[in-house]
Structure 1
Amino acid sequence: MTATAPPVAPSDEPDAQPARRSGLRRFVPVVLAAIAGLLLYVTFPPRELPWLAPLSFALLGIAVHGRRLRAGFGLGLVFGLAYLVPLLSWTGVDVGPLPWLALAAAEALILALAGMGIAYVSRLPLWPLWASAVWIADEALRARFPFGGFPWGKIAFGQPSGVFLPLASLGGTPLLGFGVVLCGFGLGGLVLRVLRLKKARDTDPAHGVDETPGANEISGTEETTGPSAARGTGGARLLRDRGVIAAAVCTVAPVIAGVAAMPLVSNDAEAGTARVALIQGNVPRMGLDFNAQRRAVLDYHVRETMKLADRIKAGTVKKPDLVLWPENSSDIDPYVNMDAYEEIQKAAEAVGAPISVGAVVTDKNGDERNQLILWDPKTGPGATYNKRHLQPFGEYMPYRGFFRVFSKDVDRAGNFVPGDKAVVFDMSGTKVGNVTCYEAAFDDVVRDQVDEGAQILSVPSNNATFERSQMTYQQLAMDRVRAVEHGRAVMVPVTSGVSAVIRPDGSIAQKTGMFEADTLLADVPRRTSKTLATRVGAWPEALLTVLGVGGLAWAVVRSRGGRSATARSKGRPANG
């Protein structure tokens, strides 16, 4: 007798599978946005992988394309946190994780606005163009708000080398960033269009083209089916598709523009050369308390300068035309403390060249200043430059009473008062433009010094507060971009490293290690011509911002027009 298997009860498992897959698919954009943010972080120094940035934006574009505003905001926030939390980790080196994470979250919220805007314009024809302009508009906002802005992490600052860098000489950091982002969004648009065509071909092999109105998400055209659409192989159809062509143009055009601009980047010495000495004296200790031994910091820089003077006297090196000390090399006010005055004067006389001294001084009004002093070996202190763009929560404390509720570390912030004008030092006939540390992140501050007549740029800095973190390398990358942007050699004297001599083409001629005393000597080109970026000033950023806002406005008009057409087709008022 053969046993009969009992009947199997019906299972709902087959119906559950599609629902489960649908649920998992919802997380794909979130994962893509997170990977895109981490990938963008990896492009920044101390690594040098600028070519990965377009891949990051390709993933971001795919993640937010066609999404609703709320989804775009959320995905932009995920992207921003994945990018900025590791990028800004150096801000918590000595004050703990709370300020670091608060800053990263605040900046990520501004990037979330970009995600929302990109999602909104992603249904427009040529959406990579509008989306890239929206990104630059968001960077412009971040560079100004809040507390004077925080441009750290601008896309341009992750491009100190590579094919896109020459774009900085044409339109500054806004055009450089726009080129990188456009290439990435173009690549993302290309992937989306090819996948759509493949899906349409699989659905309707006879035609191979999606009939859905607005299906061509790049060019905004609607393809028709029929013999002309079906003619040729799949590869040939791809090459003829206007959406594919438009996306490919967006991807390739910035690369071609960068290559075409390369001959404009020059290291020529248009007004001869200047022999420059950069002094890195080092500091007694790392961290926020490095300046607890302020006299030691000054003594270290005097000692290193005296070593240079001995080498000059012995004939082993040629005397420099000028000497550059870093920011905070004399936190003792030499106008008040005669012992500090005498030490600096001794060093200047020994080396026989003017010294740019970074000092903390109190002016006649009682205001504390982060100041550079032009110190002549014969006449002593002369011209001064007061740092104009101060670092909030460091050199000054906005809303000190409010933020003290969260951390008593706010009382360690200074009470500095900003300067109000660009000042170029005439050092033995060489015009040196001053940009103090944090100021290098701001387009207008650097440009003002070149407009004032600077033949070379000096960016004295003090990174000892941030120990051996990646901050030093990120700032050095900024300086390299500025060199190309304005066609100037950039000198970077730092208290504890990395000090560097940067050529006008952005390459590093010499550099020091970190937390070691050292001196760099270099003959650098003096240049007088202005790049197109210097001449046009803030116009590229303004025009790209207008383009981004215009794209958003167009998206609003199209959205309202679409709702009106839908309402009319259903026979009810447009606002019904």
Structure 2
Amino acid sequence: MTTLDRDETRTPTVVRPVRSPLPLRVAVPVAVAAGLALLVAFPPYGWWPSAAVGVAGLAAATHRRRLRAGAGLGFLTGVALFAPLLAWTNLHTGLLPWVLLSLLQAGYLAVLGAATAWVSPVVDRWRWAWPPVTGVLWVGQEALRDRTPFGGFPWGRLAFSQDSSPLLGWAWLGGAPLVTGVVAVAGGLLLVAVWRRWPGVRWQPVVGAAAGVVLLLTVGWLVPSGAGTGGRTVRVAIVQGNVPRLGLDFNAQRQAVLNNHVDATVKLAERVASGAERRPDLVVWPENSSDIDPLRNAAAGARISQAADAVGAPILVGAVLAGPGDGEVRNAGILWRPGSGPDLAQVYTKRHPVPFAEYVPMRSLARAVSKQVDRVRADFVAGSSPGVVDAGAVVLGDVICFEVAYDGLVRDTVDGGAQLVVVQTNNATFDVAEARQQLAMVRLRAVEHGRAALMASTVGVSGFVAPDGRVSDATGFNTRAVVVREVTLADGRTPATRAGRWPEVALTGLAVAALVVAGALRRRREVTAAG
């Protein structure tokens, strides 16, 4: 045999023939079903295994397709996921904000769909590359979505669908990005098991994929919880004062909302005085519990002092503070001590105000789209320091509302010495589904950093979360409630806390590498076809 003959016989093993994708009449419903499978993994449904099914469905629908078709199918998946997941955004603001936000978020899954189509040559060449490639592409997509535009919107990350799953344990090792990657790897394993046209496929891929999924679940279940070097306990009370009525005009009842929280705290103080309840070391009020600036309004300050003095413990108050400039305000957590009032050295100003809700970027352009932006009369100014608040008995890591979705904002408080993670939130403009989705994020943060955590809401859901993610004393929605619990503090750091953003950086880097390898294989295939 000549050298040329030997080269020709080797060619088919180097470049495999291009196989056909799923028929479009099948791929379209599969893409929509993938979005719905992703949706029901999140609260209030909580069918966490369906997240991997949704990942597999999107990958199957887009495999071997052209980029434009992959993007279109990814967009369908995104709409099916985000439109119902974010339906709480249209309860009091109308359809337009909900539609625009849902379509924007779906656009990122369109990018993912195109990327998944692009890497098809990698998967066709190395079958078992499908799970890791799927995993890193999902992490890369979320890394982009979590940061753009205007600081990003991380709602709907795969990691936040796993609050009751054994896979939640992976957060202790690498945070939310690693949990997302593991869920997507599980989806890739499912696809390896069921894909239709692998040459010579019998039972081996099914067994291998099943073993892989079991391994992922087992590791997540066996990962230890907590951060160590703790053990000291404090007694913490959450006051959920409720509002006169739900909706955007809840802040028109600012005095009533403040009175609700004062009155509930005074009743707690009466129980303490009677011996029915032990005195707490700390009381936590939610975001917007005082929309009257208590530093400038003497009457509001006096009412908060009344509550703090009665209960005999410092109160972390969620307040709207005026300034620093004219027409500007701050969303803040301020420590109010019994006997002395506000501790101005222990004030946290929200670092990530919500665009178009707490401030309006490009206001004149936004007004041309919808005059609803004028509901935001004063822009909230972002703080610059992590929410580390020293309450004496405990150092708090305070984050406000949607900030719990952002990895760095929570991690900064733990790096700053926080022993307990506190999420102050106001769900009065949303519904119970949104509140439970937010509580799922708190559960992940507790496991990620090995810290006890709590969520304090104006209307619910409020509750305590242990370092292993278990929820205790969760309140009902749209009710007044006071819950008190002994909380164990921690000072250590988990592997995820130590690693910081590096797991996400590494996995995103691997996603870029997969795209580059796919480009090289495509180029090689084109050269071979031309030759």
**TM value normalised by structure 2:** 0.91
C-alpha contact (below 8 Å) 1:271/1:528 kept by paired residues: no
Distance 1:84 1:542 in 2: 25
Deviation at 1:364, TM superposition (A): 4.7
* Separation in 2, partners of 1:252, 1:555: 29
Q: How does 1:149-548 map to 2 (within 5 A)?
A: 149-192=152-195, 195-197=196-198, 209=200, 238-239=203-204, 247=209, 251-261=213-223, 264-266=224-226, 270-366=230-326, 367-382=328-343, 383-413=346-376, 414-466=378-430, 468-548=431-511
> Closer, same or farther in 2 for the Cα pair 1:314/1:405, shift >3 Å?
same
Distance in 2 (CA, whole Å) between partners of 1:340 and 1:238 is 70
Q: Distance in 1 between matches of 2:22 and 2:189?
A: 27
Aligned partner (choices 134, 138, 147) of residue 137 of structure 2 = 134
Deviation at 1:248, TM superposition (A): 5.1
Cα 1:525–1:332 change in 2 (3 A) is: same
Determine the C-alpha separation between the residues in 1 that align with 2:523 and 2:408: 39
Moved more, 265-274 or 50-59: 265-274
Q: State the secondary structure of the residue aligned to 1:435.
A: strand
Q: Deviations over 1:370-409 (max 9, x none)?
A: 0111111122111100000111111001121112122221
Pick aligned residue for 1:107 from 105, 108, 117: 105
Distance in 2, Cα, partners of 1:251 & 1:146? 35
Question: Conserved in 1, the CA contact under 8 Å of 2:67 and 2:117?
Answer: yes
Gaps of 5+ in 1: 1-21, 201-208, 211-236, 569-576
Contact 2:21/2:63, CA 8 A, preserved across alignment: no
Q: State the Cα distance separating 1:24 from its structure 2 match.
A: 11
CA separation in 1, counterparts of 2:319 and 2:96? 30
Q: Deviations over 1:314-343 (max 9, x none)?
A: 000000000000001000011111001111
User: How has the CA–CA distance of structure 1 residues 269 and 531 changed in structure 2, closer, same or farther, with 3 Å as cutoff?
Assistant: closer
The Cα shift of 1:53 comes to 1.0
Aligned counterparts of 1:451 and 1:500: Cα–Cα separation in 2:
24
3-state DSSP of counterpart to 1:522: strand
Give how far 1:267 is off: 8.8
1:555 is aligned to 518
Which amino acid in structure 1 is aligned with residue 237 of structure 2? A
Unpaired stretches in structure 2, ≥5 consecutive residues: 1-19
Q: 2:261 and 2:203 mapped to 1: Cα distance?
A: 64
Query: What is the CA–CA distance in structure 1 between the aligned matches of 2:21 and 2:525, rounded to whole Å?
Result: 29
Measure the CA separation in 2 of the matches of 1:499 and 1:423. 19
Give me the CA root mean square deviation.
Answer: 1.9
Shift of 1:470: 1.3
Are the aligned partners of 1:114 and 1:134 in contact in 2 as well (CA < 8 Å)?
yes
Among 38, 42, 45, which residue is 1:44 paired with? 42
Contact 2:170–2:179 under 8 Å retained in 1? yes
The 8 Å contact of residues 164 and 176 in structure 1, kept in 2 or not, is answered as yes
| Whole-Å separation in 2 of the counterparts to 1:30 and 1:476 | 33
Identity %: 46
Shift of 1:45: 0.5
Deviation, 1:254, is 2.4
1:134 and 1:485 map into 2 onto residues whose CA distance is: 22
* Structure 1 ranges of 4+ moved more than 3 A: 22-25, 243-253, 266-269, 363-367
Indicate if the aligned counterparts of 1:274 and 1:525 stay in contact, CA closer than 8 A. Answer: yes
Offset of 1:515 from its aligned partner? 1.4
- State TM-score, norm by structure 1: 0.84
Q: Distance in 2 between the 1:286 and 1:498 partners?
A: 14
Corresponding position of 1:573: none
Distance 1:456 1:269 in 2: 13
Q: CA deviation at 1:563?
A: 1.2
Distance 2:325 2:21 in 1: 65
Shift of 1:185: 1.4
Task: Indicate the larger mover: 358-367 or 32-41.
Answer: 358-367
Q: How many residues align?
A: 503
Q: Equivalent residue for 1:18? A: none
- 1:547 maps to amino acid: L
C-alpha separation between the residues in 2 aligned to 1:349 and 1:29? Answer: 64
Mapped partners of 2:243, 2:31: distance in 1: 41
Distance 1:176 1:29, change over 3 A: same
Structure 1 range deviating more: 35-44 or 251-260 = 251-260
Alignment check: 8 A CA contact 1:129 1:250 kept: no
Per the alignment, do residues 189 and 68 of structure 1 end up closer, same or farther by CA in structure 2, a change over 3 Å counting?
Answer: farther
Amino acid corresponding to residue 148 of structure 1 in structure 2: G
Contact 1:497 1:513 in 2 (8 A): yes
CA–CA separation in structure 1 for the residues paired with 2:275 and 2:207? 64
Measured in 1, the distance between the counterparts of 2:352 and 2:300 equals: 26
The Cα shift of 1:564 comes to 1.3
The answer as to whether partners of 1:353 and 1:377 remain within 8 angstroms in 2 is yes
- CA 49–376 in structure 1, closer or farther in 2 if over 3 Å, else same: same
Displacement, 1:249?
5.9
Amino acid at match of 1:139: E
The separation in 2 between residues aligned to 1:24 and 1:552, in whole angstroms, is 22
Residues 29, 419 of structure 1: alpha-carbon distance in 2 compared, 3 angstrom cutoff: same
Task: Name 1:54's counterpart in structure 2.
Answer: 52
Structure 2 residue identity aligned to 1:374: L
Deviation per residue, 1:192-238 (Å, 9 max, x gap): 1xx325xx6xxxxxxxx38xxxxxxxxxxxxxxxxxxxxxxxxxx53
Residues 528-537 or 123-132, more deviating: 123-132
Aligned residue type for 1:537: G
Q: Residue 58 of structure 1 contacts residue 189 of structure 1 at CA under 8 Å; is this kept in 2?
A: no
CA distance in 2, matches of 1:538, 1:91: 29
